[in-house]
């Protein structure tokens, strides 16, 4: 009896070459729906599942492969006489190869406007059943779930045959495939129900469901934070960075990826597109060391670099506008790891081409924001912490002036800019800014006044008349007193300390204005 291959695929890449290879090895092809039509259109002999089972497709195609002649042929153990007798009694032919990939559920629900009914209709039932059946019976059946598996499978078939080791590896991939599929469905339903509950009740729903993670290996990295640490990058190739195009430079490293995320989330504070004010960010070890607005991308970049050229060495640069020839001139003489921007002009590409190791990435922040999840994950003590991203919109209308003197118009601009940036600095965070540019940054210190000293010393004489932002409240008035001695005139902080009156009194005594936002932005 000729071996039988069952093909039923949503992704029809390389379907015809696979079918031709199977036919060349003496297989009979069995298929249904659009797959059968594609094979017939290519002039290949194929038997429709309905003809094979003697049962028509029903319920608009919902039921077509759920039949004993299909699942019996897949699940029958060839070394079990009882199974063999059942096949003979029912006239069921064994199925030796199952080629199935599933309805594109992820693609369907990627549209935020997708209806509940459309999403549910794109949940595959027969496909996962066949994949799991074939994977369970991998001792006798080979299961293919990805077109990338086809060439290796055909090569094995043409050589020494498909051995047990290959069938086991294919079974593992098949179970991973259905697990990821079910995870995507559960996650979407969970998210939709949570969103509905939040909109109805005015607060996020209490989610007691377990965290579901099923991420493919996207890239094996050269190493992790240090050369002796191995590392991998997990994630769907179509998510987030899937929209990026690396124009030149070395492969992205573990540290590059972490710093690039920090750079992009920071520059996204200032918007993107033709109506956004040009902004540039320089990141070093996940902290912004220079952030600035400008008349154009080149001007913003120059101002950001000038904020702290010592720290910019070996850093990551992100812009919310295209890199042109003038901006490239500011980059050409520096040692940087990466530059990410929505686009690079041909003149900029030519100017930077000589820096072969400099990674240039074209990625519009809007593209990243459109697919980035709002849930942040971090491994800890053998487990995982999950939280909602700190993406609360800045709302100056909700801020409160608590000092006797209100901010001037210029101080309001400085306070807003400083608050936009300080939320991206590691806690304890203090940031000094003026005229749309950071002057000094104090990050990650064990006490807040220590961060203030770093930020104020880096600012030098520029601190006079500048604004100071703190990501958390002031536990004492020492930071305000230090700021006053350096000439700071405006302070913004979350508020909420028992000693807020002390800090407010210190502002009043020295003529500073203080604004409290009501929201802290710790970043660990």
Sign of the alpha-carbon dihedral angle for 398, 402, 406, 412: negative
Decide if pLDDT at 450 tops 60. yes
The reply to whether 152 falls in a domain is yes
Helix (H) or strand (E) holding 419: helix 409-422
* Same domain flag for 129 and 65: yes
How many domains are there within the chain?
3
Catalytic residue among 12, 83, 250, 285: 285
* Same domain flag for 414 and 331: no
CATH classification at residue 174:
3.40.50.1380
Q: What is the pLDDT of residue 391?
A: 84
Long-range contacts (CB closer than 8 Å, 24 or more residues apart) made by 439-448:
439/307, 439/463, 439/466, 440/308, 441/287, 441/288, 441/289, 441/308, 443/287, 444/287, 448/472, 448/474, 448/475, 448/479
Condensed to tens digits (0 to 9), the pLDDT of residues 154-191 reads 998 888 788 888 999 999 999 988 888 888 888 778 77
The reply to whether 352 falls in a domain is yes
Which pLDDT band, with edges at 50, 70 and 90, does 203 fall under? Answer: very low
**Cα 477 off chain centre by:** 40
Q: How far is CA 102 from CA 116, 144, 182, 456, in A?
A: 19, 11, 11, 58
* Same domain flag for 355 and 441: no
* Same domain flag for 357 and 428: no
Catalytic residue among 136, 250, 510, 519: 136
CA separation for the pair 253, 259 (Å, rounded): 10
Q: Does this model's pTM top 0.75?
A: no
The reply to whether 454 falls in a domain is yes
Q: Quick check: is 136 catalytic?
A: yes
* Same domain flag for 138 and 277: no
Decide if pLDDT at 296 tops 80. yes
* Same domain flag for 254 and 349: yes
Q: What is the pLDDT of residue 204?
A: 47
The reply to whether 387 falls in a domain is no
Task: For residue 433, give its domain range.
Answer: 396-516
Q: Which of 187, 203, 228 is the last residue of a domain?
A: 187
The reply to whether 233 falls in a domain is no
The reply to whether 193 falls in a domain is no
* Same domain flag for 362 and 456: no
Q: Quick check: is 48 catalytic?
A: no
The reply to whether 378 falls in a domain is no
Q: How far is CA 70 from CA 4, 7, 21, 87, in A?
A: 11, 12, 22, 11
Condensed to tens digits (0 to 9), the pLDDT of residues 332-363 reads 999 999 999 999 999 999 999 999 999 999 98
CATH classification at residue 464:
3.40.140.20
* Same domain flag for 290 and 436: no
- Nearest one of 490, 485, 482, 481 to 513, comparing CA atoms: 490
* Same domain flag for 146 and 36: yes
Condensed to tens digits (0 to 9), the pLDDT of residues 242-261 reads 567 889 999 999 999 999 98
Q: What is the pLDDT of residue 326?
A: 96
The answer to whether residues 73 and 93 touch, using CB atoms and an 8 Å cutoff, is yes
């Amino acid at each position: 009896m000729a071996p039988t291959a069952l093909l039923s695929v949503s992704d029809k890449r390389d379907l015809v070459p696979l079918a031709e290879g199977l036919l060349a090895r003496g297989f009979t092809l069995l298929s249904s729906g659009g797959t059968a039509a594609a094979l017939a259109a290519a002039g290949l002999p194929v038997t429709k599942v309905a003809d094979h089972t003697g049962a028509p497709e029903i319920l608009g195609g919902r039921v077509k492969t759920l039949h004993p002649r299909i699942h019996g042929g897949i699940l029958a153990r060839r070394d079990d006489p009882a199974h063999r007798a059942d096949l003979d009694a029912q006239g069921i032919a064994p199925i030796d190869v199952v080629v199935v990939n599933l309805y594109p559920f992820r693609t369907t629900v990627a549209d935020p406007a997708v209806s509940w009914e459309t999403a549910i209709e794109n949940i595959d039932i027969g496909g996962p059943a066949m994949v799991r059946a074939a994977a369970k019976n991998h001792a006798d059946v080979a299961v293919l779930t990805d077109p990338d598996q086809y060439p290796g499978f055909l090569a094995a078939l043409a050589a020494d045959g498909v051995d047990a080791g290959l069938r086991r590896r294919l079974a593992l991939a098949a179970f991973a495939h259905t697990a990821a599929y079910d995870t995507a469905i559960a996650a979407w339903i969970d998210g939709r129900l949570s969103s509905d509950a939040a909109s109805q009740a005015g607060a996020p729903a209490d989610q007691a469901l377990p965290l579901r993670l099923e991420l493919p290996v996207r890239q094996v990295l050269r190493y992790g934070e240090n050369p002796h640490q191995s590392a991998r990058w997990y994630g769907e190739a179509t998510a987030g960075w899937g929209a990026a195009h690396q124009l030149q430079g070395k492969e992205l490293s573990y540290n590059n990826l972490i710093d690039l995320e920090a750079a992009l989330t920071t520059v996204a504070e200032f918007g993107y597109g033709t109506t956004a004010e040009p902004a540039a960010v320089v990141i070093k070890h996940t902290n912004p060391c220079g952030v600035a607005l400008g008349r154009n991308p080149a001007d913003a970049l120059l101002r950001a670099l000038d904020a702290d050229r010592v720290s910019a060495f070996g850093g990551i640069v992100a812009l919310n506008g295209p890199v042109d020839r003038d901006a490239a001139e500011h980059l050409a003489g520096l040692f940087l790891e990466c530059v990410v921007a929505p686009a690079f002009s041909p003149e900029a590409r030519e100017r930077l081409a000589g820096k072969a190791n400099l990674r240039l990435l074209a990625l519009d922040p809007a593209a990243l924001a459109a697919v980035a999840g709002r849930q942040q994950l971090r491994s800890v003590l053998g487990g995982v912490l999950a939280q909602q991203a700190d993406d609360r919109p800045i709302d100056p209308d909700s801020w409160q002036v608590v000092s006797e003197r209100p901010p001037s118009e210029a101080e309001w601009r400085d306070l807003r800019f400083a608050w936009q940036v300080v939320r991206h600095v590691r806690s304890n965070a203090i940031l000094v800014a003026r005229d749309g540019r950071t002057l000094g940054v104090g990050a990650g210190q064990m006490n807040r006044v220590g961060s203030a000293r770093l930020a104020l010393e880096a600012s030098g004489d520029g601190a006079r008349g500048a604004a100071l932002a703190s990501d958390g409240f002031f536990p004492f008035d020492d930071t305000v007193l230090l700021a006053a001695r350096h000439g700071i005139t405006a302070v913004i902080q979350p508020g909420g300390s028992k000693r807020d009156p002390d800090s407010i009194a210190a502002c009043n005594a020295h003529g500073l204005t203080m604004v409290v936002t009501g929201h802290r932005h710790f970043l660990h």
